[in-house]
Structure 1
Amino acid sequence: MRTTNRPASGTVQSVDRAVTILELLAVHGTAGVTQLARELGVHKSTASRLVAALERRRLVEQVEDRGHYRLGVGVLKLAGATTARLDLAQEARPVCRRLAADTGETVNLAVLSGGAVLYVDQVSGTSTLSSYNWVGQHIPIHASSNGKVLVSELDGTELTRMLGELVAYTPSTVTDRALLEDELAQVRQRGFAVATDELDVGLTAVAAPVRDAHGDVVASVSVSGPSFRFDEARIAEILPLVRTATTEISSRLAHVPPER
């Protein structure tokens, strides 16, 4: 199983070879460095360095027959994260469809990913003539209602790590850290966030949290549309529907709300 058309860049080539090692182990189950080197078409010392790097990240591990390797628990961790995200989207999809039908607006399901908001699913409503497809897009945390919901319960250190630089995307984007923290405190208290003209002028979104069995915020659901349509009265109509939807999705993820 020799790879072809491998990139010329040294760093990219190393990454390509490391991924190929994972693919080879997935096919063979176990393999020694000599075999891996032969199938990669590289010197044994090169294969050994690549395997060592993967082993440090627990992506591969030695079997009892030392010198032979198999996929490690690190791969299971990555696969588990992907499966959890797919499960979330699957459980949320019918609820988001109903929310889009009830509001007539665009509904998005989002999670945190790499210091940004990742949109994992979207359903367009009947009032939407043409809606931009946000699925797969990474959106700045501080400029979106979903982002504010997703980081509203993080402590200061984790919040700082997630936020990074507070860039202004419109005149309405909150770029002052103290003001943003005040707003996040309100989001925590109220259980929802609103962003008006903060990412794009003319776009307003209302979001609420989705919680898992431990009560942690693992996702958010937003309803968005043109700002001229999202006045205070309209937001007041939409908000209960969003909260009902996120409560149902949370229930599907085994979340049990605390007794009041």
Structure 2
Amino acid sequence: MPVTDFNIDDESPEASRGVQSVDRAITVLEILARMGSAGVSEIAEEMGVHKSTASRLLASLDQRGMVQQNSERGKYQLGFSILRLANSIPGRLSLVREARPVLEALAEQYKETVNLAVLRSNYAVNVDQAMGPSTLSTHDWIGSLTPLHATSSGKVLLAALTSEQRQRILKETGLPAQTARTITSKQELEKELLEVGSSGYAVVFEEFEIGLSAIAVPVFDHLGTVIGAVSMSGPSFRFKPKEMPGLIEDLKQAGQDISSRMGYSVE
């Protein structure tokens, strides 16, 4: 007796119905995410299906904790299982991995060095770098501990902290002069940090190293917390961020792109 091979036919009626059910369940979740809460009739109308269909979908999702019913009004809202699923995502996201293609694109576009920095032990630590094709862009900043008060990334990270957090850090590190242009006055630094918070970027001109200029923007996580800074740097004689058309906007967009990859939403 011949052996028959059984293959799952993705185009079979059963498979099609299964895919349709999954699609409809996701649609229900999207509706509740958008509306906050909704009744069976509202969901059925939004989806263009019969109330009984919407009711069955909600019942299945309710059993899995994906939605829950508001006992007071009988409307449904997203359940705690959705929150658990969402909270599992950030832990698996790597800032360096998510930022890498954005850094490379910026370095290629502007032919300068682009760095990604995070706050660690009172310093801005460069955790990744994309080198521009220029022969002058040869310094490897990865792993470098740079002072917060004298670098563009550092100022972005400082500006995101509370006044109390900043005071604690600056009390421990002080404001040592790196060059003649380094800001060593707390009052002057606080004034600049307010501007950084307002404008969304920080620029330094030979404050950390003679002959080096840089500009940085923040990177946010899914909670809206600043978790890093993207900076672009180059020789002061040619790299003048505020005079380069489109650079500030492109750098801000890069920061937003990385933030989106980390789960941040501006809405």
What TM-score, normalized by structure 1, do the two folds share?
0.64
In 2, Cα distance between equivalents of 1:86 and 1:214: 14
- State the match for 1:18 in structure 2: none
Please tell me the residue identity of whatever aligns with 2:152. Answer: S
In 2, Cα distance between equivalents of 1:257 and 1:109: 21
Please tell me the residue identity of whatever aligns with 1:208. Answer: V
1:65-80 to 2 correspondences below 5 Å: none
Could you report, residue by residue, the CA deviation over 1:36-73 in whole angstroms, capped at 9, with x for unpaired residues? xxxxxxxxxxxxxxxxxxxxxxxxxxxxxxxxxxxxxx
In 1, Cα distance between equivalents of 2:241 and 2:119: 28
Are the structure 2 counterparts of residues 142 and 251 from structure 1 closer, same or farther at C-alpha, using a change threshold of 3 Å? same
Please tell me the residue identity of whatever aligns with 2:236. Answer: S
- State the match for 2:234 in structure 1: 225
Q: Specify the structure having the higher radius of gyration (Cα).
A: 2
Cα shift at 1:151: 1.2
Is residue 2:89 matched to residue 1:89? no
Please tell me the residue identity of whatever aligns with 1:103. Answer: Y
2:156–2:216 Cα contact (<8 Å) kept = yes
In 2, Cα distance between equivalents of 1:152 and 1:85: 27
1:119–1:138 Cα contact (<8 Å) kept = yes
Please tell me the residue identity of whatever aligns with 2:131. Answer: S
Is residue 2:155 matched to residue 1:141? no
1:104–1:128 Cα contact (<8 Å) kept = no
2:178 to 169, 178, 199: 169
- State the match for 1:45 in structure 2: none
Are the structure 2 counterparts of residues 211 and 161 from structure 1 closer, same or farther at C-alpha, using a change threshold of 3 Å? same
- State the match for 1:250 in structure 2: 259
Could you report, residue by residue, the CA deviation over 1:63-121 in whole angstroms, capped at 9, with x for unpaired residues? xxxxxxxxxxxxxxxxxxxx969810000001100010111100000000000000000
Are the structure 2 counterparts of residues 203 and 85 from structure 1 closer, same or farther at C-alpha, using a change threshold of 3 Å? farther
Is residue 2:113 matched to residue 1:106? yes
Cα shift at 1:240: 1.3
Please tell me the residue identity of whatever aligns with 2:210. Answer: V
Cα shift at 1:231: 2.8
Cα shift at 1:194: 0.1
Unaligned runs of 5+ in 1: 1-82
1:106–1:128 Cα contact (<8 Å) kept = no
What TM-score, normalized by structure 2, do the two folds share?
0.63
1:107–1:124 Cα contact (<8 Å) kept = yes
Please tell me the residue identity of whatever aligns with 2:136. Answer: L
Unaligned runs of 5+ in 2: 1-89
Cα shift at 1:235: 4.0
Are the structure 2 counterparts of residues 210 and 256 from structure 1 closer, same or farther at C-alpha, using a change threshold of 3 Å? same
1:187-206 to 2 correspondences below 5 Å: 187-206=196-215
Please tell me the residue identity of whatever aligns with 1:250. Answer: S
2:123 to 116, 123, 131: 116
Cα shift at 1:232: 5.5
In 2, Cα distance between equivalents of 1:234 and 1:242: 14
Are the structure 2 counterparts of residues 85 and 254 from structure 1 closer, same or farther at C-alpha, using a change threshold of 3 Å? closer
In 2, Cα distance between equivalents of 1:117 and 1:232: 21
In 2, Cα distance between equivalents of 1:84 and 1:96: 22
- State the match for 2:160 in structure 1: 153
- Percent of pairs with identical residues: 43
Q: Tell me, what secondary structure is at the counterpart of 1:204?
A: strand
Q: Tell me, what secondary structure is at the counterpart of 2:142?
A: coil
In 2, Cα distance between equivalents of 1:85 and 1:101: 28
- State the match for 1:237 in structure 2: 246
CA RMSD of aligned residues (A): 1.8
In 2, Cα distance between equivalents of 1:152 and 1:135: 22
In 2, Cα distance between equivalents of 1:113 and 1:86: 19
